Amino acid sequence: MALIVQKFGGTSVGSTDKIKTVAQRVLKNHRQGNRMVVVLSAMSGETDRLTGLALAMQHIPDQREMDMLLATGEQVTVSLFAMAVKEMGGDAVSLLGDQVAIHTDNMHTKARIYSIDPDLINKHLEQGKIVVIAGFQGVTDSGDITTLGRGGSDTTAVALAAAMRADACEIFTDVEGVYTTDPNVCPQARKIDYISYDEMLELASLGAKVLDIRSVGLAKRFSVPVHVRSTFSENIGTWVVEEDKIMESMLVSGITYSKNEARITIKQVPDQPGIAAKVFLPISDAGILVDMIIQNTTDGRLTDMTFTVLRRDYDRAMELLKKVAADIGAQAVSGDESIAKVSIVGVGMRNHPGIASTMFQILAKEGVNMMMVSTSEIKVSCIIAEKYTELAVRALHDAFALDKDNLPVEEAE
């Protein structure tokens, strides 16, 4: 008798009819002999509605009160879901974050879970009930309601699966699973059957939206097998598991792209110790995240510094940098919002250092110029002009044969 945690997002429970459909599916799994724990998000649109009310009250809503307000969204869904199960002749009980209890720190609107007590859930499971838990929410030691921020319900589901040593954590979404790349850009994109935590972490951080990166990190830490699959079909989706559970790893598992970044260059900066700090301190003080940084020394005394920030921070960053440039005697600050980051990810490239240069060759052949490059053990990211994004993704998908198994070929030594 397997213990399965299933999480359904806002779109999957966006109406009373959709809640019934999901309830039917969960009940079917339950009647097949599984013990079922269900994690639900707020009905789609509800969080926006509540946020609108909050903004009508307070310019910048108080974060504790915001959590108090937003937590009602999931509370509505779980109670309706339990009713639906009961109407279908099953038994279910809804539980809130503080009832479970999902203990978090007190960082309101982006709290982190530090413990979950599985006793109450187990008690209800032993009575044959489907346990329906409000995602996205927890409680501090002093009894205040917290929310977990973006992707919070995924995190709730994985944390519960970890705490309860569940056999699987199934994340239901509106796609069939994790794809080798965005099927909208590349029709040859293929659903991935198995992917390692590390690859999924890279894909999530590089722009794949199917699974929140925090929940992947948590799944990795507690070895929770995660199954990403569709709410709207019975098909097997993508299993995110430990690397050694995957028989053979692909050379390249997935290709992602992101158009959320912008590039800034400070030209002719005096190449002295402490200059980099002078450039980046005001940026980080303003809460602006810097992703890639490169520095080219043009001659012995002067250097160009280039880095990327999120596009939404671009204007603020440019403004700050212009002041800094004047202070440190740099020649000029230039920027470019029309860039994209294209990345290839795969654990198979660990032992194949040639992958990066293969990527460069493929892009060169298409006439795509690379502005910046960054690499990790299992990924290579290139900054290119935004207009080449789709071309680059398709060319890489094709050249690395992601539409087929692209197992690493042992190279001649």
Query: Interface residues with a copy of itself (CB under 8 A)?
Result: 16, 19-20, 50, 53-54, 56-59, 61-62, 64-66, 68-69, 71-72, 75-76, 78-84, 86-87, 93-94, 96, 98-99, 120, 143-144
For the CB of residue 116, give the shortest distance to a copy of itself in the complex, in Å. Answer: 15
Other Cβ atoms within 10 Å of 143 Cβ, number:
8
Nearest to 265 by CA among 187, 333, 207: 333
Tokens of 304: 């160009």
Write the CB contacts of 319 (distance below 8 Å, at least 6 apart in sequence).
none
Q: Which is nearer to a copy of itself, 84 or 292 (CB)?
A: 84
Write the CB contacts of 218 (distance below 8 Å, at least 6 apart in sequence).
155, 158, 159, 162, 224
Nearest to 393 by CA among 184, 234, 181: 181
Nearest to 77 by CA among 129, 27, 122, 23: 23
Q: Which is nearer to a copy of itself, 58 or 298 (CB)?
A: 58
For the CB of residue 97, give the shortest distance to a copy of itself in the complex, in Å. Answer: 12
Q: Which is nearer to a copy of itself, 64 or 352 (CB)?
A: 64
For the CB of residue 43, give the shortest distance to a copy of itself in the complex, in Å. Answer: 9
Q: Which is nearer to a copy of itself, 76 or 294 (CB)?
A: 76
Q: Which is nearer to a copy of itself, 16 or 235 (CB)?
A: 16
Question: CB–CB of 12/230 below 8 Å?
Answer: no
Q: Which is nearer to a copy of itself, 58 or 127 (CB)?
A: 58
Q: Which is nearer to a copy of itself, 37 or 96 (CB)?
A: 96
Tokens of 219: 């799944």
For the CB of residue 133, give the shortest distance to a copy of itself in the complex, in Å. Answer: 12
Question: CB–CB of 5/68 below 8 Å?
Answer: no
For the CB of residue 73, give the shortest distance to a copy of itself in the complex, in Å. Answer: 8
Q: Which is nearer to a copy of itself, 120 or 370 (CB)?
A: 120
For the CB of residue 122, give the shortest distance to a copy of itself in the complex, in Å. Answer: 15
For the CB of residue 86, give the shortest distance to a copy of itself in the complex, in Å. Answer: 5
For the CB of residue 123, give the shortest distance to a copy of itself in the complex, in Å. Answer: 10
